């Protein structure tokens, strides 16, 4: 199957929904961490799943991936991916992590990354579900630290019947003068893609 051709209006609608979801996620993160966290979506792209490792810096790029299944009226996967460096920067913001600790992550830090993925996925799916009039529920998050190519292969293999389309929602985190980006991918199952496309149509 070839990549669907989205109109500018459809991608703009996805971007608006994504920003709404991230606004809600920022409020939840700020309440959880007792500090003001800002999230915004600089761009939304429809990309071939095969290109996802390339967008993360190459298949060999080490990355932290938080993975959830989409349950409810549509099925698919969500994957929030940070390079190792950006995962540590996020922990420095969220947990006031000591910069001298190196790259080894504690159980508390791994739990914090899972919780961030859960908050982002829940907020995004709520916003998308409201717009599309669908019930979309995230599963319990799983975390993996691996090469970007392996992370993507795991998600595709788990999904089974998969379209070759993913939505990449670039997500910018900031607090005061600290700023970095993560990548949020939604990979709809093949049978759910048509439903989503029809409901987002104009």
Tell me the average pLDDT of the chain. Answer: 80
pLDDT tens for residues 117-173? 888 888 888 888 888 888 999 999 888 888 888 888 877 676 555 566 778 888 888
The domain that holds 66 is classified in CATH as: 3.40.1550.10
pTM of this prediction?
Answer: 0.78
- How many domains, the chain? 1
Asked whether the predicted pLDDT for residue 55 surpasses 70, the reply is yes
Q: Please give the residue range of the domain that contains residue 87.
A: 8-197
Number of helical (H) and strand (E) elements in the chain, helices listed first = 6, 7
Contact 120, 171 (CB under 8 A): yes
pLDDT tens for residues 45-54? 888 877 888 8
* Domain-embedded: residue 148: yes
Tokens read off for 82: 């940070």
Buried b (16+ CB within 10 A) or exposed e, 138-175: beebebeeebbbbbbebbbeebeebbbbbbbbbbebbb
CA distance 57 to 60: 8
* Domain-embedded: residue 74: yes
pLDDT, residue 102, reads: 64
């Amino acid at each position: 199957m070839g990549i669907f051709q989205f109109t500018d209006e459809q991608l703009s609608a996805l971007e608006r929904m994504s920003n709404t979801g991230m606004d809600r996620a920022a409020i939840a993160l700020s309440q959880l961490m007792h500090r003001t966290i800002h999230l915004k979506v600089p761009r939304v792209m429809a990309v071939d799943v095969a290109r996802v490792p390339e967008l993360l810096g190459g298949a060999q790029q080490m990355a932290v991936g938080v993975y959830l299944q989409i349950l409810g009226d549509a099925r698919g996967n969500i994957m929030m991916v940070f390079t190792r460096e950006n995962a540590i920067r996020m922990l420095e913001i969220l947990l006031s992590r000591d910069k001298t600790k190196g790259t080894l992550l504690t159980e508390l830090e791994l739990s914090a990354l899972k919780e961030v993925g859960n908050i982002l996925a829940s907020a995004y799916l709520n916003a998308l579900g409201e717009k599309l009039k669908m019930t979309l529920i995230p599963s319990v998050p799983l975390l993996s630290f691996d090469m970007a190519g392996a992370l993507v292969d795991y998600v595709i293999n788990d999904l089974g019947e998969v379209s070759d389309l993913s939505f990449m929602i670039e997500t910018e985190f900031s607090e005061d003068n600290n700023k970095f980006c993560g990548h949020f991918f939604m990979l709809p199952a093949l049978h759910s893609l048509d439903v989503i496309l029809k409901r987002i149509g104009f």
